Structure 1
């Protein structure tokens, strides 16, 4: 029997809100995928200014394109990498498109969240206790945009040829945390008409979330430092299990900035995450079999794609698929942790 979206006692249309949040979650997922393409095609620094309104319109004339290209030519990425490689205006237009599309989708997500939220609020459709959570999700979206610009700005000088991998990780992890929050809130709202209260985070759920967070952080640093290119073999690196890393700058630098060591940590921490996700999935089987299957499927495909990304020398579309399935893994894990912690 399909649940009807009838108003709750005291007001609220939880199923309508849940459907809206799931649509926004799909848009955030697309944002993560396009962000991966932007990163892998070295497109992130192609637009050197942040224009929240007028920036939604790309250059329309040859003169406007030349002006944008000249601005790009002032930064280190062009002077040290793209320029010596012989970048043409057509090449620049290709990377400009991906960064523009990434920013445009960010604007559309903001509108898709803020405008319906205002309508739901004014019509009294938000159930009691959910307004602060929805405002927090709106604030996360705003922070995501700010972190994105701070990330881009970190690479806009003549010395840098890329953005800071620290800012890249903050930008990506904020998006994934927002995605998990949208899924969690939507599932709370879907359960509300059946008299089921908000889910809690269990000790198992917290352990899984923390271990997955570490893996996502390592993955973001690997992407930001192009550390996926540190090895094209698996399971060995440089013909050995543990690669040679630069420890001369101290352990802190090695654990946060050495490409070989981060690549090594990312590829093997994945199996620790696999173990706890299997435990979570098995716990889910009698509670929500679909969530269990989703977690098993996502983590299995993700590990295979990670290995394929390494062995193909970071092939563009395999690496994009790796990031996309990573976002699906976050989604299925949030679903699973929610199901385990639901107050029945």
Structure 2
């Protein structure tokens, strides 16, 4: 009570974070389209301020096109391209970067107002906002670091790659965006839940008694593991995208005529770099850089994720029948199952039809939706902050209600 800041943040802060998280979702989607249309290397410079303005005259376009002509991608893959073709890929990458700048403004400017006003956010929320702002700034740097990997001819030669971005850097870029997205969701959900609980302390305490049941401890651990594994599967999908590994073995459930490719194809010395030790580096290079091996890993991680989802569903149903799991948790788990099923179908279709842009984009969105619902299930089974739980007990004893 002596603090100058509230213990729980204003609900409007949560709505703002939900809006920004939707923009992060959108930029991940556009980033996927940029990758699928092979547009990511069209802008060969990083200009955080002036880069927000596209070429405005014919002379500006020709100057930008000349810069692209000096890139390895144009020389090796796109020498047939004319200025109109270049404009098509340029606008994908420019739009992706422009939205990134927009997210920075929409997040940072309100954040400074909230920090200065001291009326709307708790210390806990402020710490998270600082962390998210730092991650947002880092994301811009990682994006350029990723693009630069596809413009460096020496690096491309070392990894024996066509002009494309490093799959490691692409996956880092994707993982940072997803962590930022999930951070915004968790923070907004927490703010809304705490305000809902404080409106009706008696009902909140009844719910907390259900959540504090020791028999839910195992399910809480399962939900965390499921979220982590779904995230890891999405990251393996980033590796597949970075290596164009979806363009090979376009059959399911077998890979070609067999269940597994030959050992010589899965572990091949071709993927060693110039200074690698064949005895020490052969295995991990193939695990991370051999498209066949990377696709195999992603397939079985996806199958494992789906199996975990179904096993968790059966466990939730069993506990619901025993009266341990509340109905709202069971319904959330049904949502996870539905999205996981759709995601598997999209993944198989994307593979069989040799990665069309429409299906591949939907598959990427499906991964984000699945992560969102896994995170929501994990959040809903949580017991909330101790300080809020203690406050609710005190409010009920004294008959207080902050919203009356």
TM-score clears 0.5: yes
2:61 equivalent to 1:49: no
2:206 equivalent to 1:183: no
User: What is the deviation of 1:292?
Assistant: 2.2
Task: Give me the whole-angstrom Cα distance separating, in 1, the residues matched to 2:145 and 2:6.
Answer: 43
Pick aligned residue for 1:39 from 35, 56, 66? 35
User: What is the deviation of 1:279?
Assistant: 4.2
2:17 equivalent to 1:21: yes
Aligned residue in 2 for 1:111: 105
2:194 equivalent to 1:192: yes
Pick aligned residue for 1:94 from 82, 88, 94? 88
Give the SS at the match of 2:184: helix
Aligned residue in 1 for 2:279: none
Aligned residue in 2 for 1:330: 371
Aligned residue in 1 for 2:227: 209
Higher mean Cα deviation, 97-106 or 129-138? 129-138
Task: Give me the whole-angstrom Cα distance separating, in 2, the residues matched to 1:281 and 1:137.
Answer: 32
User: What is the deviation of 1:285?
Assistant: 6.3
Cα deviation per residue 1:269-313 (whole Å; 9 max; x = unaligned)?
Answer: 112111222344563763434532331222111111100110111
Higher mean Cα deviation, 153-162 or 181-190? 153-162
More helix by share: 2
2:222 equivalent to 1:222: no
Identify if the C-alpha distance between structure 1 residues 46 and 178 changes in structure 2 by more than 3 Å, giving closer, same or farther.
same
User: What is the deviation of 1:264?
Assistant: 1.2
Pick aligned residue for 1:143 from 128, 138, 142? 138
2:117 equivalent to 1:123: yes
User: What is the deviation of 1:224?
Assistant: 0.2
Task: Give me the whole-angstrom Cα distance separating, in 1, the residues matched to 2:258 and 2:366.
Answer: 28
Pick aligned residue for 2:349 from 308, 313, 321? 308
Question: TM-score scaled by structure 1?
Answer: 0.91
Task: Give me the whole-angstrom Cα distance separating, in 2, the residues matched to 1:184 and 1:211.
Answer: 18
Task: Give me the whole-angstrom Cα distance separating, in 2, the residues matched to 1:55 and 1:233.
Answer: 42
Q: Indicate conservation of the 8 Å contact 2:336/2:373, yes or no.
A: yes
User: What is the deviation of 1:13?
Assistant: 4.2
Say how many residue pairs are matched. 335
Q: Indicate conservation of the 8 Å contact 1:77/1:158, yes or no.
A: no
Unaligned 5+ runs, structure 1: 1-7
Q: Indicate conservation of the 8 Å contact 2:231/2:371, yes or no.
A: no
Pick aligned residue for 1:155 from 146, 150, 158? 150
Q: Indicate conservation of the 8 Å contact 2:248/2:292, yes or no.
A: yes
State the structure with more CA Rg: 2
Unaligned 5+ runs, structure 2: 157-162, 199-203, 206-210, 212-216, 270-281, 317-324, 390-404
Moved over 6 A (4+): none
Aligned residue in 1 for 2:70: 74
Task: Give me the whole-angstrom Cα distance separating, in 2, the residues matched to 1:106 and 1:285.
Answer: 40
Question: TM-score scaled by structure 2?
Answer: 0.78
Q: Indicate conservation of the 8 Å contact 1:79/1:158, yes or no.
A: no
